[in-house]
Amino acid sequence: MPLSYVNPQADSPWGTYLAQIDRVTPFLGPLARWVETLKRPKRALIVDVPIELDNGEIAHFEGYRVQHSLTRGPGKGGVRYHPDVTLEEVMALAAWMSIKNAAVNLPYGGAKGGIRVDPKLLSRKELERMTRRYTSEIGIIIGPNQDIPAPDVNTDAQIMAWMMDTYSMNTGATATGVVTGKPLHLGGSLGRVKATGRGVFVTGREAARRIGLDLVGARVAVQGFGNVGSSAAELFGQAGALIVAVQDHSGTLLNDRGFDLAELIPHVKAQGGVGGFAGGEPADTEAFWDAACDIVIPAALENQLTAARANRLKARLVLEGANGPTGAAADDILAERGILVVPDVICNAGGVTVSYFEWVQDFSSFFWTEDEINVRLDKIMIGALRRIWDTADQHRISLRTAAFAVACERILWARQERGLYP
């Protein structure tokens, strides 16, 4: 294992995760004797991904698949393509998937994968070759009953289709359940595309109700306007809220009267970002965090809500649409300021919940309607949040610590009952 496994930087994703585990350990009682199993990934695979480029040159990319815990079921977690992907980041993301799946009580462990690459620099055929080679390299540890990848940053249904096809060709039988987030006609599920954003909205609606925040007229700032951020924004808009600030890789826009989402969302799909949209006032990056709003939804990458930004935030409610967007120091500052945080491991769990539905449907070859999917999703998300809220009230701890307490207890209880083999 790399040195960062033993002595990570405090503000790194893995360092943040370890700090979260240390914070929850006092609430685990006798199960705390097993807590070291949460600090050590079960398996980390580093693979070379060589492909022939369109110009005939050979390019090499570094890929990863980390299985943090398989105690409660097969590994489950996405695959991201990004130039900043590192093993340490993937370890943290896999660990958060363990917590997320247990917090929602899905029968999964946690896993994650990635390739260090800027996919925008690859042609479609190069992207396909890289995806297929990566899938072949990690094929020794994935499978419908072993580890099920899904889309994440810069990956989508087409990537999942290539992964499913590659795995199926290598095993000699069509295995639709090896990935989730697939196209509908290849065993995908209705409701999957907007599931993560819907989960953010459903948990946000419940949290707003509990703190007495009326969504009608509530002011919302959304960082990251991709699949998750735009879906959440659309649902909050339908509930009567105003989206007053948006930010992504292409820029930051403010609109005190609220954006016209019927125009903004098509613009983002056509242009690839919010930048250049005429219905908002361009602003610098930090202006987003200074926006006068009631709700902030960080739905981009990790460690976006820093201590400095937490000190300036004007919102009453933070809904973590991304994984690990709030640093440990920022978490403490938000708590001191009375700003409620609905943590990522429950807030953005809508995606993996509908991925679970897709996996179940693939096994049975019987598919549900989108209304059935949404009803089941809402029920699971609300039930999970209420269980976590009760734990927070009981121990007078934050929702994040309570979510970790519920999840870690489930994981470690299973670990204890399974025992050690041999």
DSSP 62-104: EEEEEEEE-SSSSEEEEEEEETT--HHHHHHHHHHHHHHHHHT
In this structure, the dihedral spanned by the alpha carbons of residues 362, 366, 371 and 373, taken in order and rounded to 10 degrees, is -30
- Residue owning tokens 């130039």: 83
- Give long-range contacts, CB 8 A cutoff, 24+ apart: 46-51: 46/87, 47/134, 47/137, 47/138, 48/137, 49/115, 49/130, 49/133, 49/134, 49/137, 50/133, 51/126, 51/129, 51/130, 51/133
Catalytic choice (76, 100, 112, 182): 112
Q: Please write down the long-range contacts of 118-124, taking CB distance under 8 Å and 24 or more positions apart.
A: 118/81, 118/82, 118/83, 119/81, 119/154, 123/54
Q: What is the DSSP string of 369-402?
A: -HHHHHHHHHHHHHHHHHHHHHHHHHHT--HHHH
What are all long-range contacts of 375-380, with beta carbons under 8 Å and residues at least 24 apart?
377/191, 377/195, 377/198, 377/199, 377/202, 377/350, 377/353, 378/198, 378/202, 380/104, 380/105, 380/353
Q: What is the largest CA-CA distance in the chain?
A: 64
Q: What is the DSSP string of 274-310?
A: STT-TTSEEE-HHHHHT---SEEEE-SSTT-B-HHHH
Antiparallel, parallel or unpaired: β 110-116 and 75-82: parallel
Q: Does 100 qualify as catalytic in the annotation? A: no
Task: Give the residue numbers marked as catalytic.
Answer: 112
